[in-house]
Amino acid sequence: MNDHIEPPTAFSASPAPALRPVRAASLVAMVTLALAGAGWVARAVWHIRLAMAGEPASGPPDQGGGNHRTLTSLEDSYHLVGTASGFAALVCGIAFVVWLGRVRDNGGDLAGTRPRYSALWVYFGWIVPIINLWFPRGIVADAYRSSAPGERLPRSLNVWWGLWLIGAFGGVGITGGDSADKVIARAYTHVWQLLAFDAAVVGAAVAGIFVVRAVTAVQQRHLDGDALQYGGSPVS
């Protein structure tokens, strides 16, 4: 006589956190990392060309006292290469920060706690002195640990960060304050120093691609799993 009574429904768990899509942002970040690395390869090629050509008899481009001589065609083309590689690095930085902000937020949602680093440090962590020596790496590591508790951090993380520090703060790297003319003068006298920093920047770009892939992969597992659980398609 109790046939009309409906059986109790199964207890439904609390809905999964609404994670932000990361696949598209990661693809853009990896492509721009590759472009930035290619830009620094081009710089290295021009550094070698300048060293092989040798300094003109008229001396370095910056003559001192605010005087600059007319550039040779090779020196002039180096300015173009430097501008192009600098633009590629800027675009790469923007794309990487966008991706980093997403994985940071997702990591906090997955862990159910506030991220260790404030959202402001996603942007200012790269430029505030002393802080910029470890905060960006910490944000990436925190996002990975929150997304894959108990898993070891990817080896590429430390490789990327070590090479980034060498390339960015080596005096002639991404954040170096020397003008293009002064870098040209160094190519004539200390090309191996320039090539060492170029190699560090290129290596950091390559390792950065692996970092982006690793962090994105662990979060994409959650995104794909949630989509399948609720009958949707994998989230990009």
Q: What does the pLDDT read at residue 62?
A: 82
> What's the confidence (pLDDT) of residue 236?
56
Radius of gyration of the chain (CA): 24
Structure confidence at residue 3 (pLDDT): 45
What is the pTM for the complete model shown?
Answer: 0.85
pLDDT tens digits, one per residue of 14-59:
455 678 899 999 999 999 999 999 999 999 999 999 999 999 988 8
Give the residue ranges of the chain where pLDDT is below 50. Answer: 1-14, 227-231
According to DSSP, residue 131 is labeled G
Domain boundaries defined on the chain = 23-53+74-227
Question: According to the model, what pLDDT value does residue 235 have?
Answer: 52
Angle at 14 between CA 118 and CA 216, to 5 degrees: 45
Contacts of 21 (CB under 8 A, 6+ apart): 102, 223, 235, 236
